[in-house]
Every structure is written in structure tokens, then in C-alpha cells.
Structure 1
Amino acid sequence: MPDKLIDKFGRVHDYLRISVTDRCNLRCVYCMPEDGMEFEREEHILSYEEIAKVVRVLAGMGVTKVRLTGGEPLVRKDLDQLIGQIADIPGIQDISLTTNGIFLAKKAEKLKAAGLYRLNISLDTLRPERFGLITRGGDVAKVLESVEACLRLGFEPIKLNVVLMKGVNDDEIWQFIELTERNPLHVRFIEYMPIGHEGDSWRNKYYPLNNILSQCEEKGWRFREETPAAGNGPARYYRVEGHQGTFGLIHPVSDHFCETCNRLRLTADGNIKPCLFWSDEFNVRKWIGDDEKIKELFLQALDIKPENHEMAKVLAKHEPQHAPTIRRMSQIGG
């Protein structure tokens, strides 16, 4: 049995996204139900040592890039210790973090010293009142403070993730692109996705991204497509003439990018997810310490990984071939 992480469609997987917790200090409208949710008990969550053991096995199978996520990864104590453990694993070349940014300003320096390379910061609006509504109580000033702190510390790239929602924040596109004028920021607009949603309520907020470029032209901005910023993200990047940073478009629903997918996911409770959208999972936790069994499980996960996530079928109300996940995004890892 070959050890390299190559699926039956020839896609090489060198990227692992690890959720370190399903807990979060915010309750974003697209991530959690309004009344919150039941979190995993602490004893069911992978320890840092267990995570590092899994990463060590996968590094031997060709994984070179790791992203830590949640929930909100910075609600877990001493995350820099895990980053340090992963950074010491031979073969790991890149460690990144996805965060809502609320706690980041005070922790960024220690995280960078431990070996963190890159940051994705979720920021769906620049308006304080609207931020409070989207996150159900968050303070946008703390996120902006974190962005400034990370610019000072020299993180590169710093990506701002903006989930565009029709009638909610789709009137702020220009303000976000203007952030890239004087700062080397990479703003990524992301389509609203039906992850773990019951029914069709998500459709009311779905905003396709295919008209953003034409709107830029109407504004009189000259722009060109850019080579992607560091990392394995699916965005297509563009730079407005004279701007230091870029903006990117990630449209998983209207224009899926599955043919180049190179990632696997490990949930906080120890489940391998070969595809974000589908329900298939393989629990690896009980096998930690048995490297050969861990290899076998990841290869099994790859063997059933579908060719694409078929979100567009869900949008068009066509029946998908696979069962969509019932887990919310915070339970899977953003």
C-alpha cells in the first residue's frame, strides 16, 4: 500500500487543516445557531501531544503544510506550545492559523516566535454595530487592533476572510478593497456556504461573487490577476493598480475548485474528514500510537473522497450523490 496521500483522481494531498477546539467566543450567524450549541467534553478533544503524533505520521506521507483552526483556536490555552511541537517535526514547512482575531493582538508575538508563519483573520464587516450583529456580540475594534499588531510583527501574508452575505455586508466590498491600498493585506471574499444547515434558509443570504470584477470596472479601478499569496488557498487574487495588497474571490458554490483540492481535515474530536461538505468521517484518536493504522485510515479516507463537493447541486435544488454533513462549521474547523 503506497504511503503517499494521492487520491483516485490523482490529487496530491500535502495540506492538513486541524481543528484544535469546537469552542468559540463568538456566535457568528453562519457558523453557530443563535442559542449556541453543545460543545465536546474536554476529555473528547485531542491533546496537543496527540495532534503532534498524527502530524508526525502525515509528514512522513508528504504533508508539508498545517493550518490550525477551530471553533476559535485561541480560546485554547498555550496554543504556542502546539505550534512549537509541530514546527519541530521534520518535513513541516508551513504553519498557519485561522482566527476571529479577538484575542490575537496579545498573543501574536508569542505565536510567531513559536513558528507560526501565516494568518487568516475572519472579518465580515468594518462597521461596529453590524459586527456585533453578525458575531452576536463581538467587538470589531479588537480585530482591527490585531490586524495592526500582526502588520507590525511582519506576518506575511495576512489574509482577511470576508463571508459575503446578501443584504448583510455586500455593501462594504469597496471599503474592504480599499484596505489593500496602503497595507500588504489580502482580502478574500467568500461565498456563503450551506455547511450543516437544515433546510433552505441559507439561500436567503447567498451572494455569488461573479459580479465583483465588473463592479470594480464600473468604479474605474484598473486591476490585474496576481499569483496567489503564499499558501494553498483556492482564491483567485487581483491587485488594483497602485495597491500594496490584493483581493481574492473564493466561490466554492458557484465555481467549485475541487479539481485542485489538496487538503484533508482533522476535527477536534479526532475525526478525519476527506471533504468539508460530506458526512464521511474516520475516527483516528483510538489509534494514535499505531502509526501504521493511522496511515491506513488516512488512505481509506482518501479512497472515498469524492471528485467534488456538489454544493452547486444543493444551490440548484438537485439531489447530491453523497450525504451532506450535519456538523456546523465550528464543529468541523473553518
Structure 2
Amino acid sequence: MALEQKADLTDRHHRTINYLRLSVTDRCNLRCVYCMPDEGMTFIPHREILTYEEMLHLVELCVANGIRKIRLTGGEPLVRRGIISFIDRLNRIENLKEITLTTNGVLLKEFARDLRKYGICRINVSMDTLKPEKFNAITRRPFFEKVWEGIEEAESVGMAPIKLNVVAMKGFNDDEILDFARLTYRKPYHVRFIEMMPIGAADARMKGFISSGEILERISTLGPVRRVESESMAGPAEMYILEGARGRIGLIGALSHHFCETCNRLRLTADGQLRGCLFSDRETDLKTPLREGREGPYLSALIRDAILNKPRGHDLDLNNPRKCVRPMSRIGG
């Protein structure tokens, strides 16, 4: 039986919260330098990870409280067994308008057709370089060709737009900014440049920070660039298009251009903690009361409280960055 639908909820700062980033696992088949160490990573015990049934129940409650879009994240979501069946069940939730997925692309060729079949029309692929040797250095794994085959397969089965997420790092991949931008002339991809953020191992690498403003200046040397409107329920990227390009360019400036006043997102970690902000360590435990048998109204009240008390901003400062207690892989990308 469908849950009673409530009006879209706003927080204390008058933002409508309609977007949930749902982490299905903290496991990953890459070891990116800004995310986790090559060895010695401690993962959440399996018994502490939400089951798919638990996730579905919590998503239903979130949708009843105004969530309209889900993005599946990890870790790497495609490494979790049974993910396609879970997506199929997610798509049957009434009033959930859109399900998307962020992946590192390693398993995308294998899963693209089924993802499209069961309702994933658009994806984000983490891709920080167009050079195999740099890919190996960043990810510590030799899967460059495999990822590009996955991207091409996703395009062939009709996923659109395909968004490439590029964490820009000065002195490492900033020499490829124009190459990525040129890609939008021949492909309908959305190339999104993301400022490095002080999460986990990246905190020690902030000397490689490059701002979204500097990235836009460099891209502007290719030709006229104009700002375009973002999609409904979109994330924080400022979108641009080069004259004559098929694709678009996105800039995500978490440090240099705070976008907190328009943030519409919650995050649910794989172990059942609801977060109002990536950079806030305040969490609402949904797993414990769920496993204790608490009814829907009790859990809904917790969800509404998390929405109402979503932080006003992430309080990051370019000159004094701080990092979260949890590593990124445990929060959800």
C-alpha cells in the first residue's frame, strides 16, 4: 500500500529538499589517491550495511516526505551484488521521479544495458584523465580502456546525458582541462570539473587545488562560452556550453563558490545514517530504530527533523579547509 504523500518539505532556510544521494556500499574496485589508501582500508562490516529491503523502506519514507530524485553512489555501487534487481524495485516506488547513478565505470560495459532497461537513463562517470598512465596513477588500477568501453556502451544503449566527473588537480591533470573541454565538441557529454575538497586523503593534497574560476578562464581560450540553465532537481554544477559544442561543461566550486543557498540534497550512508550536508558530521541514525522495529511515523519524524535542521552551509574556507570524520567512501560520493 502506498504511503501517504506529504507536501514537499523545506528546511529552516526555505530550501526545498527533494534529492537523496543513497550510498549502497562503501566497497570499491579502485583506490583513487584522493579517496582511499591503496592498502589497509577498513570497510564497514557487512552486518552493519543496510539490506536492500531496509533501503527500499527508507526510500519510500523519504519519498513520502518530498524526495523526488535518488542518486545511487558508493564506494562503487555496481560492485554490490543484486544492484540491478534493487534498481528495478526502486523504480516501482510511486512518486519517485528519477533515479541516477554515479560509477567509476569499471563495470559499466557489463551493466549498461540492464541499467538502461530498468530505468537508469543518465549516469555520472568519475574520469579524471584522458591519459592511461595518469589514470593508473590516480586510481592505482589499470582499467582505463575498460572504463572508456563502458562509457561508449552507455552511449550506445541510449543513456543521456553521460556526465564525466573530473576532480581538477593542479600539477597533475590541469594540463588536460582543454582536452576535456574539446571533448564536448564531438560528444554530447557533460564534462564537470570538480574542485578538490578536503575529504579523507585529499586533505593532504590541497596544494593541488585549482578553482572553478581559473578552469573557466582556461576553457574560454577555446572560444565563446555561455552560461546555460541547469536541469530540474539538478546538483550544484554551474553549466556552460562552448559555441558549436554538442555537450556541456559543468563547474562545481564547493570551496571557491559556495552553493549552499540552493542545496536540495540529503545523503543516506550505506550503514543507515542520514546526513544533511557532505561536510557536516551531524548524522541521524535511521538504521537502529528501523532494526528495533520502529514504525513508519517514528522514522518519518526523524527524516523530517533531518530536513528541517539541514545546515545552512558547509562552512568551508579556501584558506582553512577542514575534513570530515568519515572518509568519502563511507559517506557516499
Q: Deviations over 1:166-212 (max 9, x none)?
A: 111000011111111121100000000002359x5232121112122
Cα distance in structure 2, aligned partners of 1:116 and 1:158: 11
Aligned mate of 2:262, from 246, 260, 263: 260
Are 1:134 and 2:138 counterparts? yes
- Does the 8 Å contact 2:36/2:201 carry over to 1? no
When residues 36 and 238 of structure 1 are mapped into structure 2, their CA distance, relative to the original with a 3 A threshold, is: farther
AA aligned to 2:62 is: L
Partner residue, 1:148: 152
CA distance, structure 1, for counterparts of residue 209 and residue 34 of structure 2: 11
Matches of 2:250 and 2:114 in 1, distance apart? 29
Instruction: Verify: 1:273 aligned to 2:275, yes or no.
Output: yes
TM-superposed CA distance for 1:7, in Å, is 0.9
For the 8 Å contact 1:157–1:229, the answer to whether it is kept is: no
* 2:207 paired with 1:201: no
Deviation at 1:213, TM superposition (A): 2.5
| In structure 2, C-alpha distance between the alignment counterparts of 1:18 and 1:232, rounded to whole Å | 15
Amino acid in structure 1 at the alignment position of 2:118:
A
Query: Which position in structure 2 is the counterpart of 1:12?
Result: 16
Would the aligned equivalents of 1:122 and 1:160 in 2 still touch at CA under 8 Å? yes
Structure-2 residue corresponding to 1:216: 219
- Residue 171 of structure 1 aligns to a residue whose secondary structure is helix
Taking a change above 3 Å as real, the CA distance of residues 168 and 269 of structure 1, as seen in their structure-2 partners, is same
Counterpart-to-counterpart distance in 2, 1:230 and 1:151: 22
Pair 1:225-2:224 in alignment: no
Task: State the SS of the aligned residue for 1:300.
Answer: helix
Partners of 1:182 and 1:230 in 2: CA distance: 25
2:330, 2:142 → 1: CA distance? 20
Matches within 5 A, 1:110-189: 110-189=114-193
Query: For the residues of structure 1 that align with 2:297 and 2:64, how far apart are their CA atoms?
Result: 11
1:301 is aligned to 2:298: no
Distance 1:230 1:119 in 2: 16
Deviation (angstroms), 1:229: 4.6
Q: Given residue 329 of structure 1, which amino acid in structure 2 is its aligned partner?
A: M
Find the aligned partners of 2:272 and 2:21 in 1 and give their Cα distance.
12
Deviation track 1:271-296 (CA, whole Å, cap 9, x = no partner) reads: 01111001111110123362112111
After TM superposition, the runs of 4+ consecutive aligned structure 1 residues lying more than 4 A away are none
CA distance in 2, matches of 1:238, 1:148: 23
Q: Which residue of 2 aligns with 1:238?
A: 240
Post-superposition offset of 1:58? 1.2
SS in 2 for 1:162: strand
Residues 116-138 of structure 1, C-alpha deviations (whole Å, 9 max, x = no match): 12100000001111100000114
In the TM superposition, 1:73-88 aligns within 5 A as: 73-88=77-92
1:22 and 2:26 correspond: yes
Matched, 1:56 2:55: no
- CA distance in structure 2 between the partners assigned to 1:12 and 1:229 by the alignment: 15
1:192 equivalenced with 2:196 (yes/no): yes
Structure 1 stretch displaced more, 177-186 or 27-36 = 27-36
User: TM-score, length-normalised on structure 1?
Assistant: 0.93
1:46 pairs, out of 44, 50, 57, with 50
Measure how far apart 1:101 and its partner are. Answer: 0.2
Partner of residue 291, structure 1:
296
Amino acid at match of 2:165: N
**Percentage of pairs with the same residue:** 46
Structure 1 residue 233 displacement after superposition: 1.3
CA 1:138–1:8: 2 relative to 1, 3 Å:
farther
Q: CA deviation at 1:57?
A: 0.9
In structure 1, distance between residues paired with 2:260 and 2:300 = 23
Hey, what's the Cα distance between the residues in 2 that align with 1:241 and 1:36?
47
Aligned residues: 325
Contact kept, 8 Å, 1:44 with 1:269, in 2: the verdict is yes
Write the distance in 1 (CA, Å) between the matches of 2:237 and 2:148: 23
Partner of 1:310: 315
Q: Answer whether contact 1:79 1:111 (CA < 8 A) is retained.
A: no
- Stretches of structure 2 that go unaligned for 5 or more consecutive residues are 1-5
